[in-house]
Amino acid sequence: MIEAGLPFSPEVTGLELSLVVPVFNEEESVGPLIERIVDAMSAYGARWELVLVDDGSADRTLLNARSYLSRPGLDLKVVELQRNFGQTAAMQAGIDTARGRLIATLDGDLQNDPKDIPAMVAALEERELDLLVGWRKNRKDGLVLRKIPSWCANYLIGRITGVKLHDYGCSLKIYRASVIKQVKLMGEMHRFIPAWVAGVVPSSRIGEMEVTHHARQHGTSKYGISRTFRVILDLLSVMFFMRYKARPGHFFGSLGLGTGFLSAIILFWLFVQKVAFGEDIGGRPMLILGFMLFLSSVQLITTGILAEMIARTYYRDDASPNYIVRTIFGAETDA
């Protein structure tokens, strides 16, 4: 075993590629998945490792994965999280554990095809990209519950983030480790990884490639139609962080100035009505609205100032992970 969080260097380990796979209650899929990965990478001409992250599974997923630790020729690490933290946190744990120069991520439900990985690695290098995203052009999922919400989400994400991709939700991605390790994944933001990476490198260094997609063979999907609403909320968060992460005061300040401007117009008009025409304005709803807008303006501007102070303190000092590792099973040292 090794301790979590050790700073591995690709130059020291000599690893070219790390495959990171989060799994949750995939006891029937994890064995065939490992076999497919080994078969797909058999002709890969460089050293690679497999990092499986068990996200608090309640079935035999962890035991089935650990049974492959003694397999000859397989550099496997199984990261056991203390409880179920969600796919994003599990993916972050795998990325933090990975030691390769490049990192590939894929789902553990056998829907992504590991045979696409060598070609994607070659394409990443040839096109000089920092992130290559899989595009499930012929997606083997239900139309109403999966495809249509995904199409809508991909369109909205592309419009708001400016990173034009056909398939944000595909977990099969290839990264340069030096880039993705600069990105801290939080919440359920794994589907927005290209947007977060675009905050570190130019969007021109993010590309996509058609990949194979298989129908689910075992278990049940962890996602449903309710995911659409979470995507919309997450998308608003992404928009805020991409545009105002370093300057939240501009966001709240703009709203505050806007409401203050409306308040000034209303109160000035009422002032003219009172002074110039002698009208009684004491019981008019417009007076209440004007004062409410004025108070809202003051609150929004002061909130923006406080947000600036909190953001600068938090993002400077916070380095805590969003997951807890119980154990990492695997080789202690590298050959």
Instruction: Verify that 132 and 278 share a domain, yes or no.
Output: no
Least confident range of 3-7, 19-23, 301-305: 3-7
263 and 133 in a common domain = no
Q: What is the model's pLDDT at position 333?
A: 47
**Would 208 be classed as within a structural domain?**
yes
* Confidence (pLDDT) at 5: 43
Most confident of 44-53, 212-221, 266-275: 44-53
Q: What residues make up the domain containing 303? A: 248-315
Predicted local confidence at residue 241, as pLDDT: 73
pLDDT digits (tens, 9 = 90+) for 115-164: 999 999 999 999 999 999 998 887 765 565 566 666 777 777 777 777 88
Residues 207, 278, single domain; the answer is: no
Mean of the per-residue pLDDT values of the chain = 83
- For every residue of 214-256, which 3-state class applies, written as one string? CCCCCCCCCCCCCHHHHHHHHHHHHHHHHHHCCCHHHHHHHHH
Please state the pTM of the whole predicted model: 0.73
State the burial class of residue 316 (Cβ atoms within 10 Å of its Cβ: 0-12, 13-18, 19+): exposed
- Check whether 32 has a pLDDT greater than 50: yes
Could you tell me if residue 34 is inside a domain? yes
Quote the pLDDT of residue 145.
54
Q: Cα 163 to chain center, whole Å?
A: 14
In a domain, 228, yes or no: no
Distance CA 297, CA 294 (A): 5
Q: What is the pLDDT of residue 248?
A: 80
Same-domain check for residues 86 and 205? yes
Concatenate the DSSP letters of all residues of 32-44 into one string. Answer: HHHHHHHHHTTT-
> How many structural domains is the chain composed of?
2
Dig out the tokens for 153 from the structure.
Answer: 């989400």
In a domain, 124, yes or no: yes
Q: 46-50, 91-95, 314-318, 326-330: which has the minimum mean pLDDT? A: 314-318
**Quick check: is 296 in a domain?**
yes
Does any domain span residue 332?
Answer: no
Tokens matching residue 4 = 């979590």
Residues 114, 185 share a domain: yes
Whether residue 161 lies inside any domain: the answer is no
pLDDT at position 196 is 84
42 falls within a domain: yes
Q: How far, in Å, CA of 297 to CA of 318, rounded?
A: 31
Closest C-alpha to 24, from 74, 77, 91, 75: 91
Give the relative orientation of helices 148-161 and 227-244 as an angle to the nearest 10 degrees.
Answer: 10
Give the Cα separation of 254 and 300 in Å (integer).
9
**Residues 73/42, Cβ–Cβ less than 8 Å:** no
CATH number at residue 45: 3.90.550.10
The answer on 270 and 209 residing in a single domain is no
If asked whether residues 124 and 65 sit together in one domain, one would say: yes
Within this chain, do residues 45 and 173 fall inside the same structural domain, yes or no?
yes
How large is the average pLDDT for residues 275-284?
82
Separation between Cα atoms, residue 115 and residue 100, nearest integer Å: 19
Which stretch of 6-15, 108-117, 245-254, 279-288 has the lowest confidence by average pLDDT? 6-15
Query: Which pLDDT value is given to residue 187?
Result: 67
